[in-house]
């Protein structure tokens, strides 16, 4: 026929599936436990894999770390919406592809996952949350030696 044999056909179940309801990423309240699990999973994934990689690997890592994990615990309708929530906050960078969404960059810590602090504690000190943006103080005027604080 006109369409040819090599034409790929999507499964009927996928084509009939409804689109997930959108969420307001600005107003969405992601529970702290979910944030911490996501951040640990990304930190571990970045240590084990080279970026870019499919965001489904973050979900897989979260399930490895917590067998009861499901994205609905984050008050979202898809895992992609949770990933978008982190992307909107600048913690990860996503790149939509034809068949998948890739995580291409992360600002989340690569430290041992047990050393990560809960997100609420990190928010109390923004300079610790984004150390890469801090600049060293300017040199003193006239080249005078700077005072060193005692420990």
pLDDT of amino acid 63 = 97
pLDDT of amino acid 29 = 95
pLDDT of amino acid 89 = 94
Q: What is the band of 130 on the pLDDT scale with cuts at 50, 70, 90? A: very low
- pTM as predicted: 0.64
Structural contact between residues 146 and 138, judged by C-beta atoms closer than 8 angstroms:
no
Six token digits for residue 70: 């499901």
Distance, CA of 21 to CA of 77 (rounded, Å)? 7
Q: Residue with structure tokens 């034809």?
A: 98
Please state which of the ranges 80-94, 105-119, 123-137 shows the lowest mean pLDDT: 123-137
Residues 6+ apart with CB under 8 A from 44: 61, 65, 113
Six token digits for residue 3: 């369409």
Q: Is 74 exposed, middle or buried (0-12, 13-18, 19+ CB in 10 A)?
A: buried
Local structure of 79: helix, strand or coil: helix
Phi and psi at residue 106, to the nearest 5°: -140, 140
- Quote the mean pLDDT of the chain: 78
């Amino acid at each position: 026929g006109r369409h040819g044999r090599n034409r790929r056909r999507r499964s009927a179940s996928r084509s009939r599936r409804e689109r997930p309801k959108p969420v307001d990423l600005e107003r969405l309240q992601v529970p702290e436990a979910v944030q911490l699990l996501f951040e640990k999973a990304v930190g571990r994934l970045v240590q084990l894999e080279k970026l870019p990689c499919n965001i489904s690997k973050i979900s897989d890592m979260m399930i490895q770390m917590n067998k009861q994990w499901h994205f609905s615990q984050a008050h979202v309708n898809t895992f992609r919406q949770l990933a978008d929530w982190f992307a909107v906050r600048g913690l990860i960078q996503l790149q939509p592809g034809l068949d998948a969404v890739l995580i291409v960059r992360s600002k989340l810590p690569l430290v041992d996952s047990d050393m990560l602090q809960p997100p609420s504690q990190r928010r109390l000190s923004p300079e610790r949350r984004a150390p890469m943006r801090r600049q060293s103080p300017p040199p003193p005027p006239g080249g005078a030696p700077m005072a060193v604080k005692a420990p």
